Every structure is written in C-alpha cells, then in structure tokens.
Chains A and B, each alone.
Chain A
Amino acid sequence: AQTVTQSQPEMSVQEAETVTLSCTYDTSESDYYLFWYKQPPSRQMILVIRQEAYKQQNATENRFSVNFQKAAKSFSLKISDSQLGDAAMYFCAYRSGEGAQKLVFGQGTRLTINP
C-alpha cells in the first residue's frame, strides 16, 4: 500500500519570505501522480500543484513550485513571496496512475504566515 508522510506538523514564515514544506512517499508503482492541496479555514480543499511521475521537470504554478526527487521519493513544495492568504493546512497526496480516483494523503502541515 502507498503511504505519504509529512514530517512537519507546523511551519511558520514571515510574509514575503520563502518556505518549503516536505513530503515523502512510498510506492512500488512507476506510474503515479503527486499533488499538493491547500485547506484554508473554510475547509475546502484547493489544488495547488500537481506532478506526473513520468515528467522529470518540476511543476511550477506562479509562486508555488515543487522539488520532485523520484529516486528519493520526495516531493517538497516551495512557496515564494509568502502572502497572508497562504496561511492554511497543506496536504501532500498520492494517486496511482492505474485509473481509480483514490488519493492517499499525508497528515498535513499547518502553515502560519507572520506579518
């Protein structure tokens, strides 16, 4: 079974600074997807960024980028120029490439932005 581990329960960063959230996963599959989701106090899960395992290039979405290390099974999220609106729970998630829409989530990292 696949597992996802987020070793940082809480992180904090000064506004406008850069922060990196860590995620490791375990799988024996070669075809899979990785995601970072954000869950603000409104509770709605919002997709931040996705990465296909077959792509060597790291995904980037505006201020959000990932460092995907397939051999190390590591998938960290870097947030640049942190903004107050970035404060939320961040979840790393894994999905098999086999087809079924089943996400395996990490335990989450609570990110606080200090003004």
Chain B
Amino acid sequence: KAGVTQTPRYLIKTRGQQVTLSCSPISGHRSVSWYQQTPGQGLQFLFEYFSETQRNKGNFPGRFSGRQFSNSRSEMNVSTLELGDSALYLCASSPQSHTEAFFGQGTRLTVV
C-alpha cells in the first residue's frame, strides 16, 4: 500500500505570492490533517478534513486554507506569503479520526 504522498517536496516562493500544497492520503483513509513545523514554534496543527468537511482548525490566520476532494486528496493554500511562513508542512492521514495518523514526508516551503 502506498504511503501518504505530498507534492511538491520543495518549493521556493516570493513574499506576497500564494502557494498550494497537495496531499494524497493512504488509500481508504478519509481523514487528512495538516501541520506546520518550524524551528521556533515546533509542530503546530493547521486543520483536519474528514469526508470533505473541515472538522477542526488550529490557530492560524485566514491566509491558511484547505480543502478535501471526494477522493480524500487534500490541498492546502497559503495566500499573501510572509517570510515567517517558511516551514516544513506535514500532512497526515488516518482511516477515521479514532486511529493513529500516518505522515507524509512533507513539503519544505521557503519564502524569500
């Protein structure tokens, strides 16, 4: 079974631009959650989607948004990028919410 796939692996963007990150969960998994990892703030929860509905949202500004498609694939969008958005963005999937999460290898976003 293929694992959680995140694309792209690396991304460099300029301040003010927007970016879309993609996450393909393990086949059959309906829950997809996103995390931001930075040296200063550590791992922080962004949001979770389950069956195309956002179930939970972390404490991030409205510039961070996401969605989930009917095939459970998820995208995360960040608009008006700031230098502080430079981070590793991790996606995790699980069959349903009451089970452990399996993580992808992340997308390393650098904002210059």
Contact = CB atoms under 8 A, between A and B. Distances in A.
Bind each other: yes
A44 B103 contact: yes
A99 B43 contact: no
B97 A45 contact: no
Interface in B28-85: 31, 33, 35, 42-45, 48, 50, 55-56, 58
B42 A44 contact: no
B21 interface: no
Contact of A101 (B33, B43, B88): B33
B92 A101 contact: yes
Given A43-B88, A105-B42, A100 B97 contact: yes
Q: Nearest 8 CB-CB pairs, A to B?
A: A45-B103, A105-B43, A100-B56, A44-B105, A101-B97, A99-B97, A101-B31, A101-B48
Which interface class (under 10, 10 to 19, 20 to 34, 35 or more) fits A? 20 to 34
Contacts of A35: 100
Interface of B is mostly: strand
Interface of A: 33, 35, 37, 42-47, 50, 91, 99-108
Contacts of B48: 100-102
B109 interface: no
B42 A107 contact: yes
Contacts of B42: 105-108
Given A101-B33, A101-B94, 16 more contacts: A33-B100, A43-B105, A43-B106, A44-B104, A45-B90, A45-B92, A45-B103, A99-B98, A100-B55, A100-B97, A101-B31, A102-B58, A103-B35, A105-B35, A107-B42, A108-B43
B101 interface: yes
A16 to B, nearest CB: 29
B62 to A, nearest CB: 19
A104 B44 CA distance: 7
